[in-house]
Structure 1
Amino acid sequence: MATSDGSDYFKRTSLFWVVTITVAVGYFSFIVFAPEKIPFDHLGPFGSFCRYLVDNHADLMYKGWWAAFASHVGESVYSLKVCSNKGISSPTTCFLWFFQTFLFGMASLGLLLKYNPKRLKKH
């Protein structure tokens, strides 16, 4: 089996986080940009709470959406710095970390931060 120097280390985010974050961000986006498409009446107490937020705090929800977007952009840019610090130099791998972190935030960045290239080297 070929060994790697760690310059192309990549680990995919777990399916749990992919599904959870995709659904949550998608729902949040619909609440902010297309609340008329959401059947709040069919969602029980959660729908009532979301309807309350849309009716009474739409501006705060809008700002919160952009804050979450900015956070994901910041995390993804930071992932490039972490890649550099950890010796991950493959442009393709750095792009994968950047893109995955943009989509899934800390669920991805946490995997990168946990990576310890010194531990993987064999002497």
Structure 2
Amino acid sequence: MATSDGSNYFKRTSLFWIVSVTVAVGYFSFTVFAPEKVPFDQLGPFGSFCRYLVDNHGDLMYKGWWAAFAIHVAEAVYALKVCSAKGISSPIARFLWFFQTFLFGFASLGLLLKYDPKRLKKP
């Protein structure tokens, strides 16, 4: 959705990134907070590696999960700053960029950073 002045610009990230990030963050979350529900034995070498991390480095994984969460929050806040710099003033569009960037990180922020509002204006 884009208007001629670009104030309502929003572009959804690709389905590939939506699925990939959702599965990865979901798996990481289950591994950190509910490892008893993860079927490590059925995941082959990857499952063995994850079991090792849970058993021997659980505290590091817990801190890593919170670090990833903080990075996604920081990216989402930065997306609001970029929206302001690029003239995206619609509250709905800004919320969509914030929310999408919080959920999908750089997969969303990259789209916003690539956006060039000058291209929309015709001389």
2:118 corresponds to = 118
The one-letter code matched in structure 2 to 1:69 is: F
Which blocks of at least 5 consecutive residues in structure 2 are unaligned?
A: none
* CA distance, structure 1, for counterparts of residue 41 and residue 3 of structure 2: 56
User: In structure 2, what is the equivalent of residue 35 of structure 1?
Assistant: 35
Q: Secondary structure at the match of 1:12?
A: coil
Structure 1 Cα separation of the partners of residues 5 and 120 of structure 2:
9
Consecutive aligned runs of 4 or more in structure 1 exceeding 6 Å deviation: none
**Shift in alpha-carbon separation, 1:3–1:22, aligned structure 2, 3 A:** closer
Does 1:109 pair with 2:95?
no
- TM-score, normalised relative to structure 1: 0.97
Q: What corresponds to 1:95 in structure 2? A: 95
Using structure 2 for the length normalisation, give the TM-score. 0.97
Cα deviation for residue 48 of structure 1 reads: 0.2
The answer on 1:79 being equivalent to 2:79 is yes
Amino acid across the alignment from 2:107: A
Deviations 1:12-59 (A, max 9, x none): 000000000000000000000000000101110000000000000000
Contact (CA 8 Å) 2:75, 2:109: kept in 1 or not?
A: yes
Q: CA RMSD in A?
A: 1.0
Q: Letter of the aligned partner of 1:16 in structure 2?
A: F
Shift of 1:92: 0.3
Structure 2 counterpart of 1:95, which letter? F
Number of aligned residue pairs:
122
Cα distance in 1 for partners of 2:120, 2:67 equals 36
Distance 1:83 1:102 in 2: 14
Match of 2:50 in 1: 50
CA drift at 1:4? 1.9
Gaps of 5+ in 1: none
Identity of aligned residues (%): 84
Distance 1:43 1:34 in 2: 16
Provide the C-alpha distance between the structure 1 equivalents of 2:4 and 2:95, rounded to a whole number of angstroms. Answer: 18
